[in-house]
Every structure is written in structure tokens, then in C-alpha cells.
């Protein structure tokens, strides 16, 4: 009989030290005992990736991206070898592989590469030899044999892509929380674990800053309808299933709240209000490879207007420099920036069929004296940019108002 294949991914906190690695090894072995083929994707130990990044930044604020990938990919190479040793020590046969060794082919975009294809034959050969396969997450290789990484949190993407390539029956994501919660349990203790969430909602939550899953991994899982189970590596409890949309799930308007503190706001005052100026500004910014998010332009009464927009905090200096250069070519007024902002968002596919959700959000913030600086909406989310100091409070009051403590 053909054995079932499962893919399991263990995040950094799940393999933070040797004791944890031994625990994970036991868990993997228990699945093997059930006669399943197991492919394990592993992240770097604890906060190794952050530490490696710090080392690079202590040499150069803008290190060469190719060298960054050479450096950052080493974290996962350590953890996959140690985990393979721990599994073997339990008497099971295991083999560790780097991304390149298992044919994870990517494009050439260093530090944020996309997976183009996976040649799964080496993994399948190891399965045929009854081995547990342990793959270093977060990395791949280009057609020129250059090592690449898949963006922060990229081990999630490795796991989903492997699940697709191997035709796995499920992709399990083991992490330090029991599943996907209504909001980050570090901010709101009353956050509730969801039994199910749709791909669409998870994608929106991830894109709006819920750290628990990498956005691109959910894009791929949604596209290929790969069943995902997010659960704790510290307990046996069932976690959260990420599933295709179903009608019943639209009965609640809001399923989750996110808070993203990684953006900064820029305001350009007195921009000439005539066709082509906004295009000019944002073309220059995009040439500098900065991705702009929320944009707000005020109504002009004087043929001059103010434009505000958000960019990742890490791109603030570069964006301000680009605007400064531009100000020599077009006449603009003062430019200001604010790093102390946060984006608080409510997400739910039921928003399509419920009225008054935005009004309720704005009123709740107003009742708590939280000023809204910018607003954006999508079909299934509403985001407010507010002062960073008020963001935890905003999450808590919205969580209560939308009754998320009682959702399941
Ligand atoms: P890993 O190291 O396993 O990849 P991450 O640190 O990337 O784990 O993601 C898990 C963290 O995501 C949790 O510790 C939690 O604080 C945070 N998080 C943010 N939003 C949510 C949410 N809605 N549900 C669960 N966890 C969340
Ligand atoms: N180690 C990488 C990171 O911290 C990839 C991952 O853990 O998913 O971003
Ligand atoms: Mg992660």
C-alpha cells in the first residue's frame, strides 16, 4: 500500500535549544511509527537568524544581498543537521538536506527569492529507503548555483511548496502558540484559538502583519488548496485548520485583528495639484524599490495638496532621500515622517455580507479617544493607522467590541 506523506515544519522557537530538538525528534519519530513518510522542514535555532542579521549590520548597514543569503542560510543548515542526529539517536533513519540538495530552485532575487520548482526525486528516493527527510527551511538555489533565501518567515513557504511537490495529505506548521488566534495572544491574553480560518482570511491577516504565517506561504497554499494545520510543538492539542471558504463561516463579520508596527508614515506638503505629479513621485519611489502601502491625498482648495503614505520602516531613509532628490526637480513643500505609527486591522470574510462594520470600528476607537490618522479598506478588512502608543489598547477594545472572546 502507498504510504501517506506528511510535511511538518518546526519554527525557530520549537527548536530553540538541544532539549527542544530532542523533543521534536521524538514527535517526528512517533509519526514514522504510524508508517507515514515524513518530510520535516526546520527553521534556524531560536533567534539565530536575527543574530546573523545583526552581525551583518554591524559591518555594513546595507550588506550585499548575495552575501546576506550566504550568511542567513547557515542558520537552517545547523538545525537540520542537529535534528537529523537527534532522530537517528532514537533509532530511526534520517537524512538532512539543504534547499539546494533537494532541488528547491528559485529565481535570482536574493533575500526574497521565489520558488520556481522543486525536483522532489531525491526526497522520494530517501522515502523509498525508509528515511525521515529533514530539509533546511527558508532557502533555495538559482540556476547558477547561487544560494538564495525566501524572505523572513520563509520556512513556512518551504513547507507548503514541499507539501505541494510531494502530494502530501497535510502540511503541519508547529509553532510556539496553539494555533491561529483571533489576535496576537502576546497583545491580548483573551485572544481565542480558532478551530478554522479560511485561506482568504489568513492571507489577509498575514499581509496585515500577523506574524504567525508568512504571507507568501499562504498564497501558495491557497492556490493549490493544500490543507494546513497550525499547531503547537509543545502540546498534542489540535490547532487551527486553514481551509477553503465555506458559507457558514461568513456568519461572523470579524474573525481576527492584527497590529503591524513595522511601517512609517511620510507626509509631503504643498504638492502641486495637477495631473502627473503623484505619478512622478511614486514612480521615483518605486524605482528605488520601496513598496508603498496606504496613500492618502487631501482635497485641494489652493491648487496645492498634501500627500501622506506609509512605507516599511526599514525603507524610510531611502525613501526620504529619493524625495529629497525629487524636490530639486519639482516644487514641493515640507516633508515630514513619523515612525511611531501602527496599523490596526480587522479581518473577516463575513464583512461582505454585514453592514456597519467600519462604523463600529471607528466609533469604538473614538469612544476610547484613539485618533485615526489614515484608513484603508479591502473587501474583507478595514485598517486604521493610529499612534503606536495606543495600538495595544486599540486591539483590546476592538477584540471586545467584536465579541472575539466568544468566537470559535
Ligand atoms: P515560528 O518561530 O514558529 O515560525 P513565529 O514567531 O514566526 O513562530 O510566529 C508565532 C508567533 O506569532 C506567536 O508567538 C504569536 O505571538 C504571533 N502571532 C501574531 N498574531 C497571531 C495570531 N493571530 N495567532 C497566533 N499567533 C500570532
Ligand atoms: N529563520 C528564518 C527567519 O527567522 C526563516 C523562518 O524561520 O521561517 O525568518
Ligand atoms: Mg514564523
Q: pLDDT per residue over 136-183, tens digit each?
A: 999 999 999 999 999 999 999 999 999 999 999 899 999 999 999 999
CA angle 163, 25, 140 (to 5 degrees): 40
- Give me the mean pLDDT over the 120-136 stretch: 96
Which-ligand-closest: CA of 230?
Answer: 1
Q: What contacts 307, CB < 8 A, 6 or more positions away?
A: 267, 268, 271, 278, 281, 295, 296, 297, 298
Choose the residue to mutate in 8, 47, 177 for probing ligand 1, maximizing ligand atoms within 8 Å of C-beta.
177
Segment 353-358 mean pLDDT? 93
pLDDT at 250: 76
Ligand 2 atom closest to the CA of 138, numbered from 1: 5
For residue 38, the model assigns a pLDDT of 93
Closest-lying ligand to the alpha carbon of 138? 2
Residue list, ligand 1 pocket, CB within 6 Å: 11-14, 43, 153, 175-177, 180-181, 183-186, 210-212, 256
| Average pLDDT taken over every residue of the chain | 94
Distance 156 CA to ligand 3 centre (A): 7
pLDDT value of position 32: 77
Strand locations in 74-124 (E): 94-97, 104-106, 115-118
According to the model, what pLDDT value does residue 1 have? 59
Distance CA 35, CA 190 (A): 39
pLDDT at 50: 98
Query: Using 50, 70 and 90 to split pLDDT, how confident is the model at 14?
Result: very high
Protein residues with CB under 6 Å of any ligand 2 atom: 11-12, 43-44, 49, 75, 137-138, 152-156
Average pLDDT over residues 240-255: 86
E strand map for 77-154: 94-97, 104-106, 115-118, 132-136, 139-141, 147-149
Whole-number pLDDT of residue 237: 95
Note the pLDDT of residue 301.
Answer: 78
> What is the pTM (predicted TM-score) of this model?
0.94
368 Cα to the center of ligand 3, angstroms: 32
Residue for cell digits 489652493? 302
Structural domain 4-176, CATH architecture: 3-Layer(aba) Sandwich (3.40)
Higher pLDDT, 370 or 169: 370
Shortest CA distance to 70 belongs to which of 157, 161, 139?
Answer: 139
Could you tell me which residue, 331 or 67, shows the higher pLDDT? 67
CA–CA gap between residue 257 and residue 348 (Å, rounded): 9
- pLDDT (tens digit, 9 = 90+) per residue, 269-303? 999 888 899 999 999 999 998 999 999 988 777 88
Which protein residue has the closest C-alpha to ligand 1 atom 10?
212
CA nearest ligand 2 atom 5, residue: 153
Sign of the CA dihedral running 387, 391, 397, 403: positive
Q: State in Å: Cα 377 to ligand 3 middle.
A: 26
CA 396 to chain centre: 22
CB 358 within 8 A of CB 377: yes
pLDDT in tens, 16-56: 999 999 999 999 998 877 778 999 999 999 999 999 999 99
Q: Ligand 2 center to residue 72 CA distance, Å?
A: 9
pLDDT tens figures, 375-403 = 999 999 999 999 999 999 999 999 999 99
What's the rounded Cα separation, in Å, for the pair 309 and 374?
A: 9
Which residue in 69, 81, 66, 223 sits closest to 150, CA to CA? 69
Share of the chain above pLDDT 70, in %: 99
- Output the CA 152–ligand 2 centroid distance in Å: 5
Amino acid at each position: 500500500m502507498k504510504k501517506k506523506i506528511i510535511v511538518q515544519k518546526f519554527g525557530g522557537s520549537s527548536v530553540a535549544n538541544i532539549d527542544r530538538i530532542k523533543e521534536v525528534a521524538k514527535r517526528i519519530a512517533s509519526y514514522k511509527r504510524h508508517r507515514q513518510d515524513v518530510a520535516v522542514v526546520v527553521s534556524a535555532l531560536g533567534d539565530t537568524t536575527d543574530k546573523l542579521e545583526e552581525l551583518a549590520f554591524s559591518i555594513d548597514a546595507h550588506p550585499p544581498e548575495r552575501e546576506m543569503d550566504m550568511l542567513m542560510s547557515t542558520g537552517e543548515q545547523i538545525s537540520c543537521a542537529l535534528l537529523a542526529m537527534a532522530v537517528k539517536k532514537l533509532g530511526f533513519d534520517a537524512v538532512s538536506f539543504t534547499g539546494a540538495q533537494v532541488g528547491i530552485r528559485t529565481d535570482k532575487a536574493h533575500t526574497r527569492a521565489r520558488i520556481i520548482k522543486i525536483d522532489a526525486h531525491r526526497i522520494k528516493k530517501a522515502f523509498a529507503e525508509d528515511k525521515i527527510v529533514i530539509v533546511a527551511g527558508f532557502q533555495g538555489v538559482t540556476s547558477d548555483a547561487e544560494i538564495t533565501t525566501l524572505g523572513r518567515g520563509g520556512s513556512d513557504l518551504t513547507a507548503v511548496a514541499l507539501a505541494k511537490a510531494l502530494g502530501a495529505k497535510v502540511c503541519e506548521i508547529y509553532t510556539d502558540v496553539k494555533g491561529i488566534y483571533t489576535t496576537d495572544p502576546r497583545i491580548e491574553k483573551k485572544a481565542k484559538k480558532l478551530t478554522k480560518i479560511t485561506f482568504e482570511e489568513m492571507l489577509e491577516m498575514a499581509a496585515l502583519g500577523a506574524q504567525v504565517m508568512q504571507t507568501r506561504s499562504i498564497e501558495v497554499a491557497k492556490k493549490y488548496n493544500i490543507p494546513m494545520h497550525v499547531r503547537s510543538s509543545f502540546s498534542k492539542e489540535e490547532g487551527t485548520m486553514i481551509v477553503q471558504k465555506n458559507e457558514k463561516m461568513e456568519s461572523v463579520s470579524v474573525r481576527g485583528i492584527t497590529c503591524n508596527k513595522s511601517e512609517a508614515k511620510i507626509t509631503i506638503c504643498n504638492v502641486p495639484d495637477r495631473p502627473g505629479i503623484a505619478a512622478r513621485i511614486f514612480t521615483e519611489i518605486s524605482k528605488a524599490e520601496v513598496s508603498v502601502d496606504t496613500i492618502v491625498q487631501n482635497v485641494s482648495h489652493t491648487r496645492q495638496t498634501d500627500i501622506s503614505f506609509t512605507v516599511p520602516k526599514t525603507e524610510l531613509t531611502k525613501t526620504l532621500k529619493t524625495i529629497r532628490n525629487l524636490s530639486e526637480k519639482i516644487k514641493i513643500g515640507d516633508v515630514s515622517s513619523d515612525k511611531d505609527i501602527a496599523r490596526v486591522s480587522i479581518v473577516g470574510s463575513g464583512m461582505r455580507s454585514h453592514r456597519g462594520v467600519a462604523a463600529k470600528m471607528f466609533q469604538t476607537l473614538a469612544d476610547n479617544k484613539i485618533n485615526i490618522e489614515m484608513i484603508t479598506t479591502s473587501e474583507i478588512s478595514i485598517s486604521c493607522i493610529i499612534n503606536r502608543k495606543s495600538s495595544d489598547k486599540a486591539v483590546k477594545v476592538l477584540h471586545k467590541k467584536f465579541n472575539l472572546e466568544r468566537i470559535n
